């Protein structure tokens, strides 16, 4: 069986911004700025890959390079085995993009904007009509199809932008902050839509976001950028766990001494105040700990478990 090429493969991608040259200046020359520094990664079929990092880490620059809006200083980008710089039209044929920060032509209606996008990709009018209705109904916006885009709210505009990105049945979708500054209920709708498209159509998605809960909920894997370099590549759960263990708090009513002896034998981290016991432990060891305490006859009246989050990891790398 012949292995299909990765939907997106990036090799040693680098973008350096050179300072503008002036024929005369009393100021010392500004050094070149490396926005993206020799990064390599692959996007797998039907994968949602998160692109995480502080402001200025190189996320948006990378997206622009992947869309061929910018030219790399070094490195290569491949879509389905085709190098972007040598085969731009064919490479981008099945790639689309959406961002909260991009506006729609305000003098066109929602339907006209979407129909135009479909026609540019060579989709038949009947197919466009079917898909536009399906997607607008998903967001309960079919009745708004003749509204001019200049009259839409931020949330409505974002939903139309997202529909536009998925309308052409792309194989790869690049999403730059798709839910930035949106109300929680609208952001939830958009996440549900993205997950549904992945499930139904096997679309691969590269997503940048500052919403850590969003990344944890929708992304299969996360790349972490810092100062233009990939510093981590793992699942959201494993990245969160790399910062610290889970924290468990008990109020022990019977068996405190037995519990402390148990923890000391295992060199576990714990803290006691009165009968409140706090333990730091790896997340995957929690079930065994609770089972052991039950078998030891330990009785507690209260338990609280606080697991490390992706936001904990983000603050850790941002320091």
Q: Per-residue pLDDT tens for 256-276? A: 999 999 999 998 899 999 889
Average pLDDT across the chain, whole number: 91
Which domains can be identified in the chain, with CATH numbers? 8-23+30-234 (3.40.50.300), 241-318 (3.30.70.340)
pLDDT over threshold 70, residue 109: yes
Q: What is the pLDDT of residue 186?
A: 86
Q: SS3 of 28, please?
A: coil
Closest CA to 55 of 179, 205, 210: 210
Instruction: Yes or no: say if 268 and 230 are a contact pair by the CB < 8 Å rule.
Output: no
pLDDT over threshold 90, residue 102: no
Q: What is the pLDDT of residue 239?
A: 93
CA distances from 280 to 88, 239, 240 (A): 52, 17, 14
Q: What is the pLDDT of residue 101?
A: 83
Say which residues have a Cβ less than 8 Å from residue 51's Cβ, sequence separation at least 6: 59, 62, 63, 206, 207, 208, 209, 222, 223, 225
CA distances from 229 to 32, 146, 209 (A): 16, 45, 17
Angle at 187 between CA 186 and CA 193, to 5 degrees: 90
Q: What is the pLDDT of residue 27?
A: 64
pLDDT band at 66 (very low <50, low <70, confident <90, very high): very high
């Amino acid at each position: 069986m012949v292995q299909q090429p990765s939907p997106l493969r990036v090799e040693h991608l680098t973008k350096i911004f050179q300072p503008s040259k002036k024929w005369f200046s009393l100021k010392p020359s500004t050094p070149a700025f490396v926005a993206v520094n020799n990064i390599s990664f692959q996007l797998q079929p039907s994968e949602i890959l998160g692109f995480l990092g502080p402001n200025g880490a190189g996320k948006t620059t990378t997206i622009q390079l992947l869309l061929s809006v910018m030219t790399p200083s070094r490195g290569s980008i491949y879509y389905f085995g085709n190098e972007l710089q040598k085969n731009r039209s064919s490479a981008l044929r099945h790639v689309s993009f959406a961002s909260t920060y991009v506006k729609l032509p305000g003098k066109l209606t929602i339907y006209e904007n979407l129909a135009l996008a479909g026609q540019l990709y060579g989709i038949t009018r009947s197919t466009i009509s079917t898909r536009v209705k399906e997607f607008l109904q998903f967001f309960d916006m079919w009745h708004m199809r003749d509204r001019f885009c200049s009259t839409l709210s931020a949330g409505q505009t974002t939903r139309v932008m997202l529909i536009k990105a998925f309308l052409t049945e792309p194989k790869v979708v690049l999403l730059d902050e798709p839910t930035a500054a949106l109300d929680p209920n609208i952001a939830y709708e958009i996440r549900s839509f993205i997950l549904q498209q992945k499930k139904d159509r096997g679309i691969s998605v590269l997503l940048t976001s500052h919403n850590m809960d969003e990344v944890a909920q929708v992304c299969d894997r996360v790349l972490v950028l810092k100062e233009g370099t990939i510093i981590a590549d793992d699942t959201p759960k494993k990245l969160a766990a790399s910062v610290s263990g889970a924290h468990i708090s008990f109020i022990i009513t019977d068996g405190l001494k037995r519990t402390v002896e148990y923890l000391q034998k295992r060199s576990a981290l714990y803290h006691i105040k009165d009968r409140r016991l706090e333990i730091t432990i790896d997340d995957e060891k929690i079930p065994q700990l609770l089972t052991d305490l039950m078998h030891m006859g330990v009785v507690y009246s209260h338990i609280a478990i606080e697991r490390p989050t992706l936001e904990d990891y983000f603050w850790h790398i941002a320091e």
